[in-house]
A and B are shown apart, each in its own frame.
Chain A
Amino acid sequence: MKLRIYRYDPDRDNSPYMQDYDLQMDAGDAMLLDALMLLRQQDDSIGFRKSCREGVCGSDAMNINGRNGLACITPLSALKQPIEIRPLPGLPVIRDLIVDMTQFFKQYHSIKPYLVNNDPPPETERLQSPKDRAELDGLYECILCACCTTACPSFWWNPDKFVGPSGLLQAYRFIADTRDQDTAARLDNLEDPYRLFRCHTIMNCVDVCPKELNPTEAIGKIKDMMVKRAV
């Protein structure tokens, strides 16, 4: 099995380069992460993040054959060889496939990713009807792997100002939550030519999301709510 991996160690390399590897391994049902872990037994200098190995933690997001995805749930058999693996685009590289997610999480935090409710906490919990709860389906599942945001050209151009698809999906997750009381302020926070309206419906986010979520739809719903509020 042939792999081409992006290598860059800022302490030692002047510039990034692609390194070819030949791995003796049968693809079978294995995932790309299995191959990377086996490869690391050959060359322990390859840097990549991983944790849960089953598409839940979002640590091993990388650019696989030109497409962002999670190595742990990408079947090897579906990949064309040589499998070209690069770090997520648009974020500073710390080393090899490890990127600095600071900007991504800054945007995530900027949308206040927590319930704002000023009522005194009830004895048990804040209840929702099943219908209200269903509004959160397709939103709460986001694992913040950054596949979508780093596939978005609008984020590449304005990572400091555009919230990005993941952050906006999360923003709608709290706007849509009937237990949240901060809707107006949340909409105010996003009503900006950069923060929300840099989204030009390119839909790379929908294309790459490993959890098959739809940030574009969530962004559309935020816009709809703003229109409803304004007219």
Chain B
Amino acid sequence: MVNRVVTGAHYGLRDWLAQRVTAAVMAVYVLALAVYLLMQPGFGYDTWVYLFSGNVMRTFSMLFLLSLFYHAWIGVRDIVMDYVKPAGIRLLIHVLVILALILYVIWSVQILWGL
């Protein structure tokens, strides 16, 4: 293969936009959770268990976590793109990060739904 600088992958916008949208989702979730917790007179294990016993909270927490993972994927990928120059090693790191994040998703489901 000829050694030439190649660009033009045509996916920059999607990820840039996704990173902003997922940031907004996380901000709303964290704020809502903080307000809810601050409004509780006493905060302990019971409050926490009650909060996460309903499917609504679990679903929105899952949405938060998925946003976090996607956001993290783009961020980590950007760092790897900046600092890891050989394309083969970059691809390997990308694959490892994706696999780790998929595992985190599975793990999150197990935690939230107590599987």
Contacts and interface: CB of A to CB of B under 8 A. Distances in A.
A103 to B, nearest CB: 10
Given A188-B10, A192-B10, A193-B11, A158 B16 contact: no
A220 to B, nearest CB: 11
Given A157-B82, A157-B83, A200-B78, A194 B13 contact: no
Contacts of A198: 78, 81-82
B13 A191 contact: yes
Interface string A186-230: 001111111111101000000000000000000000010011001
Given A157-B82, A157-B83, A200-B78, A195 B13 contact: no
B7 A161 contact: yes
Main secondary structure of the interface of A (DSSP, over half): loop
Interface residues of A, number: 21
Contact of A191 (B10, B78, B81, B82): B10
A160 interface: yes
B12 interface: yes
Contacts of B14: 230
Contacts of A154: 82
A199 B13 CA distance: 12
Given A226-B13, A227-B13, A230-B13, A193 B81 contact: yes
Given A191-B11, A192-B8, 9 more contacts: A157-B82, A158-B81, A191-B12, A192-B9, A193-B11, A194-B81, A195-B7, A200-B78, A223-B13
Interface of A: 154, 157-158, 160-161, 188-198, 200, 223, 226-227, 230
Interface of B: 5, 7-17, 78, 81-83
23 contacts: A157-B82, A157-B83, A160-B5, A161-B7, A189-B8, A191-B10, A191-B11, A191-B13, A192-B9, A192-B12, A193-B78, A194-B7, A194-B12, A194-B81, A195-B12, A196-B12, A197-B15, A198-B78, A200-B78, A223-B13, A226-B13, A227-B17, A230-B17
